[in-house]
């Protein structure tokens, strides 16, 4: 199938609305909630209500968390631009406003993408409208998600969950948490499943909130599970342990969330580029897109180089989302997009701080904040190094045991 790299016309109203929200609602409160860490941005409640209204009207395709459902195939194989592509485009625009506030949006948690990707039809209907954070990382278990120690043991009609999860985005504010746990440590990756746990369930408690470098508007929690009992129907997808399938079921979640995180990095980097271009222009430095970079000032040449890097990250992000919409396996492309956008996002935002000098380093502008926010986008949902390892395995046709 062929991909058209032009922005789909049907998404332009959605993207335009997202840009207006970013400029008029998120930017004005960006510094406020960066300083007031852990204080819930109440202004987002009105924005969430607007999105709910759009959803009910059918005018918001891609405004919420979409999923990668590998088991579905379009009978006519028609090439389409769907919810995944719309999501990354609108998320990029929202993060042009503020990444931390986007991550604080009610009912738009990373756990919602997990539900959309893995849940069966009954679960999708039952969990519609929840706000779900996602709990993967554990103390001593960083990038290797397959080494998860949190356990889930079936006891009658319930699973009993025990373990500790750290760095859970929206872990305090979300009303549900998608918890990754193993049914049997001896069976390795294949036994890892995800469970939806409602807030207030006995045995589940938020232990602490983290103080962070960036995305300070978003709460990041440590959650403890002690004999936490959840209905067995809250296991997302199939409870069967398929050793042949291995980790594929759980990893389908990342095929969706990694392009979303790439889109966040793309949006934050775009904000830095736009402001830096304006600041350079105010200083008398014009960037001419019709002349070779070597014939322009060092500052203009640097901006042009960053623009080209940004374009590569943006196109990789669109490709990964487009493939998901067309039910094409996109694990390689999702990791490529995440790796490129995460690295480029940090490089661009820091370079913009450098180009802007004292203005970039001070709180006069948001450049220093974007530089702080962007770093996490190169870390969570799989670090830069892990993404490169995944890409290498896919390209070389090697397993995780063959290439570590």
Distances 8 to 15, 93, 190, 338 between C-alpha atoms, Å = 10, 15, 38, 22
- Whether the CB-CB separation of 360 and 352 falls below 8 Å is answered with yes
Nearest CA among 266, 263, 261 for reference residue 345: 266
With 0-12 CB in 10 A as exposed, 13-18 as middle and 19+ as buried, what is 264?
A: buried
Helix, strand, coil percentages, rounded to 5, for the chain: 50, 15, 35
Q: Is the dihedral of CA 49, 55, 61, 62 positive or negative?
A: positive
**DSSP symbol at 88:** H
Residue 306: both structure tokens together: 């960053």
Q: What is the DSSP string of 16-50?
A: HHHHHHIIIIIHHHHHHHHHSTT---THHHHHHHH
Residue 301: both structure tokens together: 């040449």
- Please indicate whether residue 328 is annotated as part of the active site: no
Separation between Cα atoms, residue 319 and residue 3, nearest integer Å: 8
Active-site residue identified among 138, 164, 333, 381: 381
- Whether the CB-CB separation of 381 and 317 falls below 8 Å is answered with no
* Active site positions, annotated: 381
């Amino acid at each position: 199938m062929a991909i058209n790299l032009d922005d789909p016309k049907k998404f332009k109203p959605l993207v335009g609305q997202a840009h207006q929200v970013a400029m008029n609602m998120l930017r004005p409160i960006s510094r406020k909630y960066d300083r007031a860490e852990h204080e819930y941005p109440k202004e987002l409640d009105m924005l969430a209500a607007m999105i709910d209204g759009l959803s009910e009207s059918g005018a918001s395709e891609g405004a919420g968390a979409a999923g990668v459902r590998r088991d579905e195939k379009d009978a006519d194989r028609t090439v389409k631009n769907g919810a995944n592509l719309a999501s990354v485009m609108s998320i990029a625009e929202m993060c042009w406003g503020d990444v931390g506030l986007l991550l604080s949006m009610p009912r738009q948690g990373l756990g919602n993408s997990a539900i959309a990707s893995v849940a069966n039809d009954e679960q999708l209907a039952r969990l519609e409208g929840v706000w779900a954070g996602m709990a993967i990382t554990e103390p001593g278990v960083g990038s290797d998600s397959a080494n998860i120690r949190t356990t889930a043991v079936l006891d009658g009609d319930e699973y009993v969950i025990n373990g500790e999860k750290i760095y859970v985005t929206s872990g305090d504010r979300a009303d549900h948490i998608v918890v990754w746990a193993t049914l049997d440590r001896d069976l390795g990756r294949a036994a890892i499943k995800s469970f939806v746990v409602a807030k207030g369930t006995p045995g589940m408690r938020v232990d602490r909130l983290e103080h962070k470098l960036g995305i300070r508007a978003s709460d990041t929690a440590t959650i403890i599970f002690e004999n936490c009992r959840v209905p067995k129907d809250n296991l997302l997808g199939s409870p069967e342990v398929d050793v042949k399938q291995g980790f594929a079921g759980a990893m389908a979640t990342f095929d969706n969330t990694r392009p979303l995180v790439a889109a966040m990095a793309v949006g934050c980097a775009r904000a830095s580029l736009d402001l830096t271009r304006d600041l350079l222009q105010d200083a008398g430095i014009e960037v001419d897109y019709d002349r070779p970079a070597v014939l322009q000032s060092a500052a203009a040449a640097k901006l042009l180089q960053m623009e080209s890097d940004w374009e590569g990250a943006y196109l990789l992000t669109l490709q990964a989302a487009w493939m998901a919409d067309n039910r094409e396996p996109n694990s390689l492309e999702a990791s490529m997009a995440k790796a490129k956008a995460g690295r480029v996002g940090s490089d661009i935002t820091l370079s913009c701080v450098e180009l802007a000098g004292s203005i970039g380093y001070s709180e006069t502008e948001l450049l220093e904040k974007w530089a702080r926010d962007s770093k996490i986008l190169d870390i969570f949902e799989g670090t830069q190094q892990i993404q490169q390892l995944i890409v290498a395995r896919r390209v070389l046709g090697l397993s995780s045991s063959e290439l570590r």
